[in-house]
Amino acid sequence: MSQFSILLHYEWRHFRAARGLVLLTSLLLVVGLYGIYYGTTEVARQRRHLAELPALTRHSEAELRRKFAGPADAGEIGYYHYTFARHQPSPWASLALGQRDVNPYYLKLRLLGLQGQLYASENVNPTKVLSGNFDLAFVLVYLFPLLIIALCFNMLSHERELGILPLLLAQPLRPGVLVAAKLTFRGGLVLGLALGLSAVGLAWAGVPLDGRVALWLALVGLYCLFWLGVALVVAAWQRSSAVNAVALLGAWLLLLVLVPSLLQVCVAAAHPVPQGLALTMQQREAIHGGWDRPKTATMTRFFARYPQYRDTATIRERFAWRWYYAFQYLGDQSVAPLAAAYTQGQQQRHALVAHLGWLSPALSAQTSLNALAGTDLPAHLAFQRSATRYHDALRAFYYPFLFKKIPFTHADYARLPTHAFASPADLGTAARGLWQLLGGVGAVYLLGWALLRGRAVAPR
Amino acid sequence: MLTSIAQKEFISTLRDRRFVGLSLLVLGLLLAATLVGRRGYAALQQERAAAQHTVNEQFAHQPGRHPHRVAHYGSFAFRPKSGLSFLDVGIDSFTGAAVYLEAHQQNSVNFSPAQQAGSLIRFGELTVAFVLQALVPLLIIFLCFSAFTEERETGTLRLLLSQGATMRQIAWGKIRGYSQAVALVVGPALGLAAALLFAAGSPARGLDLGLRLGLFGLGYAAYFFVVIVGAVVVSARQQHARSALVLLLGCWMLGCVILPKITANLGAHFYPATTKAQLDAEVHAETQRGIDGHNPHDAHVAAITAALLRKYHVASEKELPVSVNGIVMAEGEAYSSRVYQAHFAALNRTYARQNALADWAGWLNPYQAIRPLSMGLVGSDFAHYVHFQQAAEAYRYQLVQRLNGLQTRMGYGDKERRLGAATWQNIAPFAYQAPPVGWALPALLGPALALLAWVIGLSWLGLKLVERTPL
C-alpha cells in the first residue's frame, strides 16, 4: 500500500471515530434531501396553480355566455373576459427556486391597458419570503462551506496540538503528501456528498439530460473545491485550531454575507432604478385623461399607429368601445419610455451583479445556479416581454371585432389566443459564473501551494 | 470577588488584540449599516412622500367630472416608511410600496424592492438589526468560548477556587465583564441611531419613537445577555476550548441560519395560501350574488327603485330627488367591500398560521424571539403592514362612498351631468398615521416572554450546570 492510501485509510478511520463529524455529515445529507423535497414540492405547487388557471378562464367564459346569450359587442367581452399569461417553471427550478416566490408566476390579463396589469403581485407571505427558500441551491451554497469548515479547520493543527505531528513528520513522509492526503479525503467526502445530492436532485426533479447537467455539476464541484482551497490556505498558514476556525468562519461571513450585502448597497447606488411608482401614476393620468380629450384627437393618434382601421365610422355617440380601447392602448404607449427605462434599470443591475461575481464565489455560484434554473430576474423580464406579446395578440384579435363591428359569437371564445411560456436558461450568465469560480479556485490553490512551499510545516 | 473577576475579564478583553480587531469591525459595520440604512430610508421616504403629494395634487385638480368617473380614477396610497425602519427593514423589502385605490375592487400592494432587485437581495441586507442579531452573537462566541476552558487549561481555575470563589461567582463575574465589553461595542451605534433620529425627527412623534428605541435597546440587551450566558455555560461544561467553540458555532448556525428558514418553509408547507387568481375568482363569484352597480338589469336594482318610490311617495324615477344609480353603486360597494374584507382577513389568518411555527420557535431559539420583537418595535413587521393595508382600504371605501353620495345627490339623470372641478378639492387626501407603540405591544408579548424565559431559564439552569461542573 502506498503512503498516500495508508494516510487516506487512517483519515477514514479517524473520521468514523469522530462522532460529531459523522453526525454533522449525515445531518447535511438529510438537510440536503429535505431541500430537494422542499424545492420539488414548491415547484409542483406552482405547477398545480398554473394548471388551475385555464379552468378559471373557462368559468368566466361560461358566465359571459350566460350573460350574453346571443352575439355580443366584443367591447363588453374584452372588458370582462380575463385570461392568464403563465410562466411555466423549468424542471431545474426545483433545485434553485431563485426569485420565483417573489415575482408573480402568472399574470391576469384583460383587454385594458397593459401597464396597469403587468406589475400586479401575487399573494405572498412577506415574513416567509424574508426567511427565504430552503432549496438544494441554499444547502450547496450556504451550508456546504460550513461542513467544509467543520471538517477542515483543524486539518493540521489538531495533530500539532495533540503532539502527534512531530511523530508523523519523523516518519519518511513529506509534509506535502500529508496535507494532500488530508485534503483529498475531505474533498472526496464533500464532493461525493455534494455531487451525490445533486444527482438525486436532478433525478427527482426529472431534468432532461443535456449539457446543463454537466454545467450544474461543474459549478457545484468547483464551488466545493474553492472552499477546500480556502481551508488549505488556512491550514498552510499554520495557526491554532481556534484561530483557524475564526479565520474560516470569517471568510464564510465575508463571502456569503458581507460582500453580497455591501454589493447590494453599491449596485443600488450605481444604478438607481426609476421606480415603478412613477410609471403607474403616469399611466393612470394618460388613460383617464382619455375620457376628457376630444374623441377625434384620440382616434387620430390611434390611427397613426393602426392605419388599417382609418376608414372605420367616425364616433359620434357618447361612448364607443373602440374609442375606449384606443385610449387604453395610447395610455400604454405614453409610458413606453418609462417602462423601458424601468426594465432596463433592473436588467443593468442584474448584469452588474453577474459581472462582479468574482468578488464572492458564493455570489457567482448562486447567480449561476439560478440562471441555469431560469428563476432569476432575466427569466422574469423575459416572461413580462412574453406577456406583453400575448396582450398584443389579444388586441390584434379583438380590434377587427371592434372596428369592423363584427359581433362576438359563442364560437369566438375558442378562437381567443392562448399563452405559453417556459423559463429559459440563462446559459451565458451560468458560463460566466463557471469562469469566475474557476478563477477563484485557481487563486486559492495557488496561494495555498505558495504558502506551503514558502514555510515548512512546523511540527510544533 | 465578583466585581474583581468582572473587572479582570473586562480589562483583559480590551487588551486582547483579536477582540479589539473584531469589535472594531463589528462597530464599523454597525455604524455603516446605520448610515446606509438612514440614507436608504430617507431616499425611499422622500420618493413616496413626493409620489403621494403628486397623486393628491392630481386628485384635487381634476376637471369637472362625473363622481363615478372620479371613483374609477381613484387615488394611490403610498406606504410611508416607519421612522425607525432604518434600524431593521424587516419585511419591508418584500412588501409593496403602493396600492391603487379605485371603485369596486381592492388591489394588491405592488412594487416591492425585492421585485426590483435580483436574487442578490436573498443573501440578506446589511442592516443594524442584521449586525445585532447575527454578527454580535458571533463576536460574543469568539469572546467567551475560552472563558472557562482557558482558566482550566492554564490551571488558574483551581487557584481561583482555592481563593474561596465559587464556580457560580466566577461565572457571574465573567458574564458581567463580557457584558461590559459588548456594551462598549454596541452602545455607540445605538447612540448614533438615537442622535440621527432625534436630530431629524419631529417632536410630536419623538416620545413614541423614543419609547420604541428604548424597548429596542432593551430587547437586544436581553438577547446579548442570553448569548453571553449561553457561551459562558458551554465554555464551563466543555473540557477543551476547541470543542466549546465548535459547539457554539454549531448552535449559531442552527439558530441564525437553519432554523428560521426551516420553520418558515414548514409553516408555508402546512398551511397553503390561496393564490391571487383563486381569491379574485372567489370574490367575483360572491359579489355576483350581491348587487352589480354597473348592471341596470340587476334584480336588486328594481327592488331598490321600488323602495325609493314608496319612500318619497312619487310615481316614477324621474321625480325622485336622488339618483337611483348612486344608491345602487353605494349598495354594491358596501357589499363587495365586505366580501373582499372577509377574503383578505382569511388570507391574513392563513399567513398568521404559517408564521406561527416560526413564532413558537422563539421559545427554542432566541434569534427567532428577537427577530419578531425587533421588527415589531421598529414597525416593519407583518402587523404594521396589515395596519397600512387596512388604513388604505378604509380610505378607499370612504372615498368611493363619498363619491357615490355625491352622485346620489345629483338626482335623476346624473349620468349626463358633471360636478365642478372645485368638488374634488374638498375631499381629504390619504394621510397615513403609523400606529403608536402601545398598539404594537400586545402582539409582541409572545416573543418578549420567550426572550424573558430565556434570560431567566438560562441564568437559573445554566448557572446550576456551571456549579455542578466537575473540575
A82, A122, A123, A143: best to mutate for the B interface, most B CBs within 10 A: A123
Tell me if A459 is assigned to some domain.
Answer: no
Residue B203 pLDDT greater than 60, yes or no: no
- Is B403 in CB contact (< 8 Å) with chain A? no
Q: How confident is the model over A103-123, as pLDDT tens digits? A: 999 999 999 999 989 988 889
Contact B47 A275 (CB under 8 A): yes
Q: How many angstroms separate the CA atoms of A141 and A363, rounded?
A: 9
pLDDT of residue A161: 83
Measured between beta carbons, the chain B residues lying within 8 angstroms of A123 are 108, 273-276, 279, 347
Backbone φ and ψ for B239, nearest 5 degrees, come out as -75, -40
Better-scored residue on pLDDT, B64 or B370: B370
What cell does A458 get?
512546523
Closest CA–CA distance from residue A109 to any residue of chain B (Å): 11
Contact B274 A123 (CB under 8 A): yes
Q: Please report which confidence band the pLDDT of residue A393 belongs to, taking 50, 70 and 90 as the band edges.
A: very high
The mean pLDDT value of chain A amounts to 92
Q: Model-level pTM?
A: 0.91
pLDDT of residue B402: 95
Ranges A312-316, A446-450, B265-269: which has the least confidence: A312-316
Query: Which residue in chain A has the smallest CA separation from B348?
Result: A125
Among partner residues A126, A242, A263, which is closest to B94 by beta-carbon distance?
A: A126
Among partner residues A120, A267, A291, which is closest to B108 by beta-carbon distance?
A: A120
Tell me if A43 is assigned to some domain.
Answer: yes
Measured between beta carbons, the chain A residues lying within 8 angstroms of B272 are 45
Q: Please count the structural domains in chain A.
A: 1
Q: How confident is the model over A47-61, as pLDDT tens digits? A: 999 999 999 999 999
Backbone φ and ψ for A48, nearest 5 degrees, come out as -65, -45
Measured between beta carbons, the chain A residues lying within 8 angstroms of B122 are 99, 132, 366
Q: Please report which confidence band the pLDDT of residue B114 belongs to, taking 50, 70 and 90 as the band edges.
A: confident
Contact A41 B269 (CB under 8 A): yes
pLDDT of residue B198: 78
Pairing outcome for strands B98-101 and B106-110: antiparallel
Residue A275 pLDDT greater than 90, yes or no: no
Query: Which residue in chain A has the smallest CA separation from B141?
Result: A246
Q: Please report which confidence band the pLDDT of residue B293 belongs to, taking 50, 70 and 90 as the band edges.
A: low
Tell me if A208 is assigned to some domain.
Answer: yes
Closest CA–CA distance from residue B350 to any residue of chain A (Å): 9
Closest CA–CA distance from residue B11 to any residue of chain A (Å): 21
| SS3 category, A405 | coil
| H or E segment and range at residue A109 | strand A106-109
Query: Which residue in chain A has the smallest CA separation from B246?
Result: A150
Tell me if A308 is assigned to some domain.
Answer: yes
**How much is the average pLDDT of A313-338?**
91
pLDDT of residue A1: 64
Calculate what percentage of chain B has a pLDDT beyond 90: 49
Contact B275 A102 (CB under 8 A): no
**End-to-end CA gap in chain A:** 28
Residue A364 pLDDT greater than 70, yes or no: yes
Q: How many angstroms separate the CA atoms of B310 and B306, rounded?
A: 6
A24, A80, A128, A248: best to mutate for the B interface, most B CBs within 10 A: A128
pLDDT of residue B39: 85
**How much is the average pLDDT of B415-432?**
90
Ranges A369-373, B149-153, B444-448: which has the least confidence: B149-153
- Is B35 in CB contact (< 8 Å) with chain A? no
pLDDT of residue A246: 80
Closest CA–CA distance from residue B111 to any residue of chain A (Å): 6
Pairing outcome for strands B98-101 and B75-78: antiparallel
Among partner residues A56, A59, A280, which is closest to B100 by beta-carbon distance?
A: A280
| DSSP bridge partners of A84 | A108
Residue A459 pLDDT greater than 80, yes or no: no
Q: How confident is the model over A120-165, as pLDDT tens digits? A: 888 999 999 999 999 999 999 999 999 999 899 888 888 888 888 8
Better-scored residue on pLDDT, B114 or B129: B129
Residue A236 pLDDT greater than 80, yes or no: yes
Containing domain of residue B265, as a range? 2-467
**How much is the average pLDDT of A192-215?**
95
Residue pair A237/A447 in contact by the 8 Å Cβ criterion: no
Measured between beta carbons, the chain B residues lying within 8 angstroms of A341 are none
Closest CA–CA distance from residue A407 to any residue of chain B (Å): 20
pLDDT of residue A79: 94
pLDDT of residue B201: 61
| SS3 category, B76 | strand
DSSP label of B109? E
Name the residue with cell 359571459. Answer: A64
Contact B123 A265 (CB under 8 A): no
pLDDT of residue A118: 92
Q: How many angstroms separate the CA atoms of B341 and B397, rounded?
A: 11
pLDDT of residue B448: 96
Q: How many angstroms separate the CA atoms of A395 and A194, rounded?
A: 49
Size of interface A-B (CB pairs under 8 A): 226
pLDDT of residue A20: 79
Residue B107 pLDDT greater than 90, yes or no: no
pLDDT of residue B469: 81
pLDDT of residue A404: 92
**End-to-end CA gap in chain B:** 20
Q: Residues of B numbered 166-185 whose beta carbons fall under 8 angstroms of chain A's beta carbons: which are they?
A: none
Among partner residues A125, A265, A370, which is closest to B351 by beta-carbon distance?
A: A125
Q: Residues of B numbered 265-304 whose beta carbons fall under 8 angstroms of chain A's beta carbons: which are they?
A: 265, 267-269, 272-281, 284, 288
pLDDT of residue A360: 95
Containing domain of residue A9, as a range? 3-454
Measured between beta carbons, the chain A residues lying within 8 angstroms of B111 are 119, 275-277, 280
Contact B268 A260 (CB under 8 A): no
Closest CA–CA distance from residue A256 to any residue of chain B (Å): 7
Least Cα distance to B112 among A124, A93, A135, A380 occurs for A124
Return the ∠ at Cα A225 (arms to A222 and A229), rounded to 5°. 135
The mean pLDDT value of chain B amounts to 89
B78, B263, B275: best to mutate for the A interface, most A CBs within 10 A: B275
Residue B285 pLDDT greater than 70, yes or no: yes
Residue B204 pLDDT greater than 70, yes or no: no
| H or E segment and range at residue A87 | strand A83-88
Length of chain B, please?
A: 471
Closest CA–CA distance from residue B369 to any residue of chain A (Å): 14
**How much is the average pLDDT of B465-470?**
85
Among partner residues B134, B273, B277, which is closest to A84 by beta-carbon distance?
A: B277
B85, B123, B258: best to mutate for the A interface, most A CBs within 10 A: B123
Answer left, alpha or beta for residue A278, where phi above 0 means left and psi between -120 and 50 means alpha.
alpha
Tell me if A57 is assigned to some domain.
Answer: yes
pLDDT of residue B291: 74
Q: How confident is the model over A19-32, as pLDDT tens digits? A: 878 988 998 999 99
- Is B125 in CB contact (< 8 Å) with chain A? yes
Q: Please count the structural domains in chain B.
A: 1
pLDDT of residue B296: 67
Largest CA distance in chain A: 104
Q: How confident is the model over B51-94, as pLDDT tens digits? A: 999 999 999 999 888 999 999 999 999 999 888 888 999 998 89
| H or E segment and range at residue A8 | helix A3-17
Ranges A186-200, A392-406, B70-84: which has the least confidence: B70-84
Pairing outcome for strands A106-109 and A83-88: antiparallel
Residue pair B78/B98 in contact by the 8 Å Cβ criterion: yes
Q: How many angstroms separate the CA atoms of A418 and A393, rounded?
A: 9
pLDDT of residue A274: 64
Contact A143 B91 (CB under 8 A): no
Residue B210 pLDDT greater than 90, yes or no: no
Measured between beta carbons, the chain A residues lying within 8 angstroms of B352 are none
For residue B254, with 0-12 CB atoms within 10 Å meaning exposed, 13-18 middle and 19 or more buried, which class applies?
A: middle
pLDDT of residue B175: 93
pLDDT of residue A158: 84
A261, A318, A360, A419: best to mutate for the B interface, most B CBs within 10 A: A261
Q: How confident is the model over A80-103, as pLDDT tens digits? A: 999 999 999 999 999 999 999 999
pLDDT of residue A230: 97
